[in-house]
Amino acid sequence: MIEIGAIVSVQSLTDLAELTVQQIVEEANKAISDRGRFMIALSGGRTPQNIYRLLSDKYRNNIDWRKVYLFFSDERCVNPENENSNYGMVKNLLIDKVPGEQVFRMEGENPDPAQAAANYENTIRKIFSLRSDEIPVFDFMLLGIGVDGHVASLFPGSLLSSDENKLVISGWVQKLKANRISLSLNVLNNSRKIVFIASGREKMAVLDNLTKQENSGYPVAQIDFNKTNSTWIITD
């Protein structure tokens, strides 16, 4: 059995959202009281959408948004207004509805994804006040997984092999026939806390393989689950 962190199995997508939001609120308040700010990276896809809705509604007043610095784990190479934009989705469900947080988005619209990745890396270096050899420590990374074991936009056979010294990478994902921009494995693996969310039978099968197979080949298998204090919140 491969150790992938704590696994919390809940009854429904509603419970998944509720529990995840409670974790975000708890970690936000801890980070703000310890270090004065909360550095969080959010992911796209369908599973987190209820989480963003809940955060901006029921739990809106449980976080001091002025001290939240909101980043993205990855982005699709489209305009922010495009329905596939991760930023666009989070903007509609969360950013537009809460007061005063700092938001740093990846330039999905940039015709040169490598430049967009370099720009985002510079933004991260500036906001985290990093020296050139330092890797940011995000307080919270909210990540989904794909049925192919991808995480953020690190897909099997693509971006993972990019330059390991980069904080942000970009590349062509053949399977999607599209470019993606993503935080690198180095950055994901330097997080204080990762919460993975997954729902549905196919993803439960991925989890099963991940815990049973040493060489699953899944990009998510390259996460350092122990160092990142990983928790899985799942529902079938």
Burial per residue of 56-78, b for 16 or more beta-carbon CB atoms within 10 angstroms, e otherwise:
beebeeebbbebbbbbbbbbbbb
Q: Which of 136, 144, 149, 219 binds ligand 6PG (CB under 6 A)?
A: 144
Q: Which of 86, 179, 184, 191 binds ligand 6PG (CB under 6 A)?
A: 86
- 126 vs 147 by CB, closer to ligand 6PG: 147
Residue 126 structure tokens: 């500036």
CA-based nearest residue to 62, from 12, 23, 14:
23
The three-state secondary structure class of 119 is helix
Q: Does 108 bind ligand 6PG (CB under 6 A)?
A: no
Beta-strand relationship, 178-183 and 74-76: antiparallel
Q: Does 107 bind ligand 6PG (CB under 6 A)?
A: no
> What whole-number distance in Å separates Cα of residue 33 and Cα of residue 20?
20
- 25 phi, psi to nearest 5 deg: -60, -45
Residue 230 beta carbon to ligand 6PG: minimum distance, rounded to whole angstroms: 15
Q: Does 136 bind ligand 6PG (CB under 6 A)?
A: no
Q: Which of 32, 37, 45, 62 binds ligand 6PG (CB under 6 A)?
A: 45
Q: Which of 50, 73, 162, 191 binds ligand 6PG (CB under 6 A)?
A: 73
Residue 132 beta carbon to ligand 6PG: minimum distance, rounded to whole angstroms: 27
SS (H, E, C) 30-99: HHHHHHCCEEEEECCCCCCHHHHHHHHCCCHHHCCHHHEEEEECEEECCCCCCCCCHHHHHHHHCHHHCC
Q: Does 170 bind ligand 6PG (CB under 6 A)?
A: no
Q: Which of 74, 107, 121, 139 binds ligand 6PG (CB under 6 A)?
A: 74
Q: Does 43 bind ligand 6PG (CB under 6 A)?
A: yes
> Cα 99 to chain center, whole Å?
22
Q: Does 171 bind ligand 6PG (CB under 6 A)?
A: no
Q: Does 50 bind ligand 6PG (CB under 6 A)?
A: no
Q: Does 66 bind ligand 6PG (CB under 6 A)?
A: no
- Residue numbers at the binding site for ligand 6PG (CB under 6 A): 43-47, 73-74, 76, 86, 144, 146, 150-152
